[in-house]
Amino acid sequence: MRNFDVEKYLADGKTAYGQRANIEALADKLTKRGFHNIVIIGIGGTWAEWSPVVQVMRHYTDLPIYLENAAELCVRTDKRFLTKDSLVITASASGDTKEILAAVKMCKEMGIEVAGFSKNGETPLAKELDYLIANPCGDCEDSYLMFFLLALKLLHNRGEFPDYVKFADQMSHLHTNLVRIREEFEPKAAQIARAYAKEPYNIFVGSGTLWGETFLFSMCILEEMQWVRTKSVTSADFFHGTLELVEKDVPVFLFKGEDEYRELDERVERFCKQHTEKLTVIDTREYRLEGIDDSFRVICSPMILTALVTERLAAHYELNTGHSLKFRRYYRQFDY
């Protein structure tokens, strides 16, 4: 596979999974400390990565959980939910995301502790955190894995996710599955990128547990790293405007999930099959997870999708657009 080092990937995966004990110890410490609600702070890609975690948590608990955009949290005047009794969690691999840093500093000034993920203890974010978990490799599936381990251990400690130990044990099989799944998808990735990388406009549709990744791939990968024009829309909203733009040569990408929102995705699929010849459906259900119970598939679905699109499909877009995934003209290039 182009630009993919299987051995390094599996070693990185071991490192990420190797944080399990630290994450569980942190969850236990936070449980002991106590909290009335959970406030998760992200922006852009990190907001998107927390989105399915929050959604899965809400499935298992009625503890109030807030997923906040860091920049908006800083300015909003209705912050009554953010108190010393909140458990505040954030993440920034680089540790220098401006808005995250500002939001964390604001929490600290309010006397509120913050737990978070960053690549190591030396980043500006790490230095502000009360509790740090190192996320040194930074593959999106590792972020998902670590966020879910923390989130579900916290629920487990409340008696709300009794299968936690089984789930966490089975996550040791995640990365080998995601290598095989990448290999299975590889010809499709090459073909999709060849067909669509130079399209002037692309519609991305997803929902529920996959909405975050739909938003992330469209905005943080294609727009930011490939200068490809996109519109991302949820499967429910698609029918309230965007549908009118579909015609036979308009590319529509549907990311089909495995949760209760699937029927909304299926409605989009039925419609688009009739009205565009350029429909690409990526259905996480088509990819087996060996050694992982079916009851954990919804949790794993964004990890599968990120391996398929944010990593593999992006690599093939780059090959076809000739635009390096590392090149930016504005983002983090100067102050704005």
Binding footprint of a second copy on the chain (CB under 8 A): 43-45, 47, 58-59, 62, 64, 69-72, 75-78, 80-81, 99, 200-201, 207-208, 218-220, 223-225, 227, 229-231, 233-237, 239-246, 260-261, 263-264, 267, 270-271, 275, 328-331, 336
Q: How far is the CB of 259 from a second copy (least distance, A)?
A: 8
Taking the least distance from each CB to a second copy, the nearer of 33 and 240 is 240
Q: How far is the CB of 17 from a second copy (least distance, A)?
A: 28
Taking the least distance from each CB to a second copy, the nearer of 2 and 331 is 331
Measure the CA–CA gap between 285 and 320, rounded to whole angstroms: 28
Cβ contacts of 286-293, under 8 Å, gap ≥ 24: 287/181, 287/184, 287/185, 288/177, 288/181, 289/173, 289/177, 290/173, 290/176, 290/177, 290/180, 291/170, 291/173, 291/177, 292/170, 292/171, 292/173, 292/174, 292/177, 293/166, 293/167, 293/170
> Strand ranges (DSSP E) for the chain?
37-42, 65-69, 86-91, 114-118, 131-134, 202-206, 230-234, 252-256, 279-283
Q: 130 with 113: CB under 8 angstroms? A: yes
Q: How far is the CB of 11 from a second copy (least distance, A)?
A: 29
> Residue-wise over 271-298: b if at least 16 C-beta within 10 A, else e?
bbeeebebbbbbbbeebebeebeeebbb
Taking the least distance from each CB to a second copy, the nearer of 177 and 226 is 226
Q: How far is the CB of 191 from a second copy (least distance, A)?
A: 25
Taking the least distance from each CB to a second copy, the nearer of 32 and 330 is 330
Taking the least distance from each CB to a second copy, the nearer of 183 and 260 is 260
CA atoms within 13 A on the CB side of 109: 7
Q: How far is the CB of 7 from a second copy (least distance, A)?
A: 31
Q: How far is the CB of 224 from a second copy (least distance, A)?
A: 4
Measure the CA–CA gap between 305 and 314, rounded to whole angstroms: 12
Q: How far is the CB of 143 from a second copy (least distance, A)?
A: 15
Measure the CA–CA gap between 213 and 265, rounded to whole angstroms: 14
Phi, psi of 332 (to 5 degrees): 60, 15
3-state secondary structure of 24: helix
Taking the least distance from each CB to a second copy, the nearer of 187 and 274 is 274
Q: How far is the CB of 208 from a second copy (least distance, A)?
A: 8
**Residue type for position 306:** T
Taking the least distance from each CB to a second copy, the nearer of 187 and 200 is 200
Taking the least distance from each CB to a second copy, the nearer of 145 and 298 is 298
